[in-house]
Structure 1
């Protein structure tokens, strides 16, 4: 049997219920026939326009909040790449045929992401169930008395508003937790002073969203001789708990680096310590010792993305020859591996966390290739400018759902 050809544009237009497609900037790119009919707008009045220019808030209702709640829901979808279901919403619409007259509507919206090839949100699907007549019919069914009907309608709306207020209080609580966690991270991740006579560029970018503060960290330690130790790590989890675990592990590894004879021994000590820290399991971290006298980088990794070494000839090598499982992944302690590589003057070492390179539904090798390409194109930049270029090109413009820590040292 011959497989039928499907005209998906025709299917979209014929979908029952109100469905519209918007860009991540909340500009209409399409709407189905039911959306146009029930919203009372033509295709020309929607396409290419910002959603709230088409449907502004009712200026005659000081308590109206439909526009704000819809915007926040859509922006959460863009930031997190996850579906967001809204509570029953009252949203008055201006009658296109009678300017200044606002018509009451009750909508039940769901906003969902459409991801592009890069794993980022390319479109927002805005699906609305128009339930105005249903609410009014239920009110009418309660009795013929118009006052009783209006009381029931008001009660239904009040219950919906109460649910939205509970959601808003939860979001405010989450936002406060985020602010505390960010302040804690800022205190534990200060801009480093010069280590020896060498300077490093460091960056930390928190995730977007109230719950997405994570446990990324970096650390730089001055060692005897012309040497420094550099590390980046990533604690599993979100919020205050992850930030607190991060602080404990960072301090422990910093102390271990000062007495260990190499990065593997430092990670061995950290692994033993992490067994007694709740929430430290599955933490990833990479530790490097840089020796300018011997011109070598010695490194060891506990399940962490490999550091990138940009050579002065424009080639990039990923230091992946001493990679072991994350902290706490083995039931018994096993010594960590260690490897060394040579460098020449002018090379650049880049350590980072996975938020810089990983994307949802994308192989990690694609992210590493993006990093290498960006390093090659900006290889003449100094460390600070290179750090800014990496963040600008590798992080999503709307923000990432994972933290990103970055350390750059020009060798």
Structure 2
């Protein structure tokens, strides 16, 4: 794209409104000059410190609930990945150079998630509008009754925010519904395989638009003795992700029918991804099963490793042929491929990261959870096993990323 190179850090610093960035653990990582001026703090007093060490509650006034409300809002944004506009809040702010002396302030905050490439919340953007002088001026005109002014202001702002949030909720719900219908049309139940039983599952994220980027595919190959199995995960969510997902799923399914093996199939789709908007950094894994030789070949483009469970319950993760995601390299390169033998009665499980990844948890913890569940239920038929894995691994509150799952009895 032609045009000037934009220094987004300089833009952030120059914003006229007060803006700060925090980690999901509520530690300040950056703020602009307007924020420091509004807060009466220097960068050394803010950056790298926990939010409520910088702005603690006023211990002398239980009615100053702004900080507690802010904590609840930020936690909600970190958990759901959805923005939150808060009603007008009263904050008691301690003077940094006068310990124990507090000033009554009124702020109107908006908290917005900053998402990482995998759709998880990487940072929290905290924007603050200072309205203290407005409240004071109205209180003076009302005979000094600031509480009455604040109550009226809170009611008005709360109604306005409620209406805006409801419109946003309805718009998000409509987009989510359309995206899910599109997803279902693109991920029909696979046709029965000639050799063995399989089960597939798709579970959308709960209460969020972070859906419709995951896909699965199973196909018996034209040579009559091999089957190709694959799952993938497009970066992004909603209608756009569903559209890109459909393109890549079709491309990989077609490439698998003519490629010599999974690595070559992923190489072809990687080239396609480089010329497809929104397909960059998609992860995928492909497995070719040879029923005559009882071997499988696999290749992964930055995707979580498939799990192979043998009849005795031993679980092995197929992680010896992993390369960067599709379209991630600036130049085309061959992808690695590995092979391993399997015995009759084994189970192969392919999945997307929503099944095993949890915010604030190491990926190995999720993989270990999958291995233990698979070993516990591996003798069940594929449909029962798929449901058992979802029951064991998906939290009661639901998942924040959609999940695709394939269970194949070998």
Q: What CA distance in whole angstroms lies between the structure 2 residues aligned with 1:329 and 1:38?
A: 50
Residue in 2 aligned with 1:392? Answer: 391
Query: How many Å apart are 1:153 and its aligned residue?
Result: 6.0
Give the distance between the partners of 1:33 and 1:369, measured in 2 at CA: 48
| SS in structure 2 of the partner of residue 380 of structure 1 | coil
Mapping for residues 2-401 of structure 1, pairs under 5 Å: 16=57, 80=80, 84=84, 86-88=86-88, 141-143=140-142, 154=152, 157-223=155-221, 224-401=223-400
Rounded to whole Å, the distance in 2 between the matches of 1:384 and 1:209 is 26
C-alpha change, 1:399 and 1:153, in structure 2 (3 Å) is: closer
Length-normalised TM-score, structure 1: 0.68
Partners of 2:154 and 2:225 in 1: CA distance: 72
* 172-181 or 149-158, larger mean C-alpha shift: 149-158
CA displacement, residues 60-116 of structure 1 (integer Å, 9 cap, x when unaligned):
xxxxxxxxxx9x979955952788553249xxxxxxxxxxxxxxxx998999xxxxx
Q: CA deviation at 1:388?
A: 0.8
Distance 1:110 1:250 in 2: 38
SS of the residue corresponding to residue 301 of structure 1 reads strand
For the Cα contact (< 8 Å) 1:303–1:326, is it kept in 2? yes
What is the TM-score when the length of structure 2 is the normalising length? Answer: 0.68
Kindly indicate whether the alpha-carbon contact (under 8 Å) linking 2:299 and 2:336 is maintained by their aligned counterparts in 1: yes
Instruction: Report the Cα offset of residue 144 of structure 1.
Output: 5.1
In structure 2, what is the equivalent of residue 55 of structure 1?
Answer: none
Q: Cα distance, 1:296 vs. partner?
A: 1.0
CA-to-aligned-CA distance 1:346-393 (integer Å, 9 cap, x gap): 000000011111111222111111111111111221111111111111
Inter-partner Cα distance in structure 2 for 1:245 and 1:135: 49
SS of alignment partner, residue 264 of structure 2: helix
Query: Would the aligned equivalents of 1:174 and 1:211 in 2 still touch at CA under 8 Å?
Result: yes
Q: Distance in 2 between matches of 1:75 and 1:135?
A: 29
Evaluate the alpha carbon distance shift between residue 273 and residue 108 of structure 1 in structure 2; reply closer, same or farther with a 3 A threshold: closer
**Any unmatched runs of 5+ in structure 1?**
1-10, 18-31, 40-69, 90-105, 112-133
> 1:96-154: CA deviations, max 9, x gaps?
xxxxxxxxxx998999xxxxxxxxxxxxxxxxxxxxxx9998655324599xx989964
Q: How many residues align?
A: 322
Give 1:95's aligned residue. none
Contact 2:204 2:403 in 1 (8 A): yes
Structure 2 residue aligned with 1:102 = none
After TM superposition, what 4+ stretches of structure 1 lie above 4 angstroms from structure 2? 32-35, 72-79, 81-85, 106-111, 134-140, 149-156
Asked if structure 2 preserves the Cα contact closer than 8 Å seen for 1:348 and 1:409, the reply is yes
* SS of 2:300 mapped into structure 1: strand
Aligned-pair CA distance for 1:164: 2.7
**Tell me, what secondary structure is at the counterpart of 2:210?**
coil
Q: Distance in 1 between matches of 2:178 and 2:82?
A: 25
Q: Distance in 2 between matches of 1:143 and 1:341?
A: 80
RMSD over aligned CA atoms reads: 3.9
State how far apart, in whole Å, the 2-side matches of 1:83 and 1:249 are.
30
Q: Is the 8 A contact 2:88 2:157 kept in 1?
A: no
